[in-house]
Amino acid sequence: MEQKQLTGSQAVLEACIAEGVDTIFGYPGGAIMPIYDALYDYKEKLNHVLVRHEQGGIHAGQGYARTSGLVGVVFATSGPGATNLVTGLADAMIDSTPLVCITGQVFAHLLGTDAFQETDVINITMPVTKWNYQITDAEEIPAVLAKAFYLARSGRPGPVLIDITKNAQLQNFNYPGYTPCNHIRSYRPKPVIRKEYIDEAVALINNAKKPLVIFGQGVLLGKAENEFKKFIEKSGMPAAWTILGLSALPTDHPQNVGMLGMHGNYGPNVLTNDCDVLIAVGMRFDDRVTGRLDKYAKQAKIIHLDIDPSEIDKNVKADVGVWGDCKETLPLLTLGIEQKDRSEWLAVFADYTKQEYEQCIEPEMFPSKEEMTMAEVIRNVNEITKGNAVMVTDVGQHQMVTCRYAKFNQSRSNVTSGGLGTMGFALPAAIGAKFGAQDREVIAVIGDGGFQMTLQELGTIMQTGVAVKIIILNNQFLGMVRQWQELFNDKRYSFVDIESPNYVMLAKSYGIEGAKVEHRKDLVDAVKTMLAHKGSYLLEVMVGKENNVFPMVPQGCSVSEIRLK
């Protein structure tokens, strides 16, 4: 049988189709032009979204991956096109987001000559990718891309970058067909589950008087939401979340005690240093969660479940490290643990919640002062969406407020830049999130600072017609930096005043409807109008200039030193 002849570019697109890719985010250029030329003939099979900047493309790929649970795919050209992906790669790497990024490269014979738009993208991106590889011969493309998709989605997911020289894109070769990868020698995506560690963890949980579960994004990445719910319901234990774990358990679940970390809830932070057994599921003990490590949960026995063995004992020493995919390890723990009523212990969390509500939550959610607060905006969104929307946040005060107060009934509903804290993330990520969850309402909540970093992606919304709702919470400051300057630098507000354009007029120039709210009496109707609108919509809400986000664990303090005001 005669083998089919394909170009390297066609082989790239055949790999995408074979892997079930339906949407690609990208920006063409000289070094990737052969792939874009081939894409012209694949338009019925592959939807390409033309972004306005490569950073917008990769954040859109992240948003798509986070809501769909699939691998996000991004195309970019060489040189500046490839280097513009670096921020998104770093973001995806630390947040374990599966991506396959394909960059064009100069002809192989020009490598190392400082050719036009040549950059050593392999060495630049090595620290911020799970794997990267440069292809100079088209015959490598099918196998390398199969490996790329497998590595991106398996084990602890992450971004992969494949750099393809222009000659390899143009080269004709005998195409052997596409064989998906499901094994790589020396790569073990799922560690072997050790029964003795399961037994040790079960014994600690069964003997615990005041256990606390803290869960992260690993529950979502492992698609283990049901397994996790069964685990906590049988054990009766309170469960608190990191911001990337948010939505793995419904917000209103009676055992959900709230958010951990610097701006987390009062109870789970203080009681981390009071529990006797701390069970961490799919989280990495980030510094924003732990505060001072030398004062973190020293009284507790630590059980740490993670698919990545390198995370065990990295920041917090575990008494029992349970390696493995939590979709497989949680049912084993659930089988062994005893069903217990821990209502007295849960009531302790409720007492802390009451204190926090009176001092922090109520004044923010139902303010008596004239100026509007971020929290009351989120409360109004909750009341209308009933906790069924996807919320995409940028980075700053609005991010912490949204994560604290948004209600979620469904998993994969919270999309935010967790580990890297990338300003400018939300607008392009919301575009990708909507492509990944087309049947759901997607709402981007963004500060006036972060919005101005990637506002050019309004052009992507205009061209695609994607229906994203955008709320700009405008406090006329770089709010989180200003808060720190107020609290720790004697109100020396150094370069945090930021002026904004007329956002509504800007949106309308892109064909996007919008409105601005300056008074509380107009807020409810404005939110209803935004959510009822069929297409994209931008709502700017003017909020208090010097409102702060509390509670807060000051940097350098322990989680039990959290401040309510």
pLDDT in tens, 79-95: 999 999 999 999 999 99
The H or E element containing residue 430 is helix 426-436
509: Cα separation from own chain's centroid: 30
Pair of tokens at residue 255: 């055992």
* Longest CA span, the chain: 79
Residue 59 DSSP class: H
Q: For residue 464, with 0-12 CB atoms within 10 Å meaning exposed, 13-18 middle and 19 or more buried, which class applies?
A: middle
**pLDDT value at position 245?**
97
Q: ∠185-189-195 over CA atoms, to 5°?
A: 110
- Of 115-124, 508-517, 549-558, the one with minimum mean pLDDT is 549-558
Domain annotation for the chain: domains and CATH numbers: 4-175 (3.40.50.970), 195-349 (3.40.50.1220), 372-542 (3.40.50.970)
Q: State pLDDT tens for residues 153-165.
A: 999 999 999 999 9
Please give the average per-residue pLDDT across 460-484, as a whole number: 95
Residue 475 scores a pLDDT above 60? yes
Q: State pLDDT tens for residues 414-442.
A: 999 999 999 999 999 999 999 999 999 99
- Count CA atoms closer than 13 A to 138's CA, side-chain side: 24
Q: State pLDDT tens for residues 27-38.
A: 999 999 999 999
Contact 5, 172 (CB under 8 A): yes
Residue with tokens 């004044």: 363
Please give the average per-residue pLDDT across 237-243, as a whole number: 98
**pLDDT value at position 555?**
85
Residue 118 scores a pLDDT above 70? yes
Residue 1 scores a pLDDT above 70? no
Amino acid at 377: V
| 489 Cβ neighbours under 8 A, 6+ residues apart | none
% residues pLDDT > 90 (the chain):
96
**pLDDT value at position 400?**
95
Q: ∠249-250-253 over CA atoms, to 5°?
A: 100
Pair of tokens at residue 404: 């604290």
In angstroms, the CA 57 to CA 431 distance is: 10
Active site residues: 54, 116-117, 166, 480
SS3 of residue 173 by DSSP = strand
Q: What are phi and psi of 387, to 5 degrees?
A: 75, 20
**pLDDT value at position 2?**
61
Q: State pLDDT tens for residues 8-64.
A: 999 999 999 999 999 999 999 999 999 999 999 999 999 999 999 999 999 999 999
Q: State pLDDT tens for residues 480-504.
A: 999 988 889 999 999 999 999 999 9
Residue 133 scores a pLDDT above 80? yes
**pLDDT value at position 355?**
94
Q: State pLDDT tens for residues 327-359.
A: 999 999 999 999 999 999 999 999 999 999 999
In angstroms, the CA 413 to CA 430 distance is: 11
| CA nearest to 426, candidates 389, 399, 403, 400 | 399
In angstroms, the CA 497 to CA 516 distance is: 20
User: How far is CA 152 from each of CA 260, 418, 419, 527, rounded to the nearest angstrom?
Assistant: 28, 19, 18, 38
In angstroms, the CA 421 to CA 284 distance is: 16
DSSP labels for 119-134? --HHHHHGGG-SEEEE
SS3 of residue 470 by DSSP = strand
Contact 304, 326 (CB under 8 A): no
Amino acid at 354: K
Mark out the alpha helices in 302-396 (DSSP H runs).
326-336, 343-356, 362-365, 374-385
Residue 308 DSSP class: -
Q: What are phi and psi of 550, to 5 degrees?
A: -130, 155
Pair of tokens at residue 17: 């189709």
pLDDT band at 313 (very low <50, low <70, confident <90, very high): very high
**pLDDT value at position 484?**
87
Pair of tokens at residue 63: 């948003």
Sign of CA dihedral 308, 313, 316, 322: positive
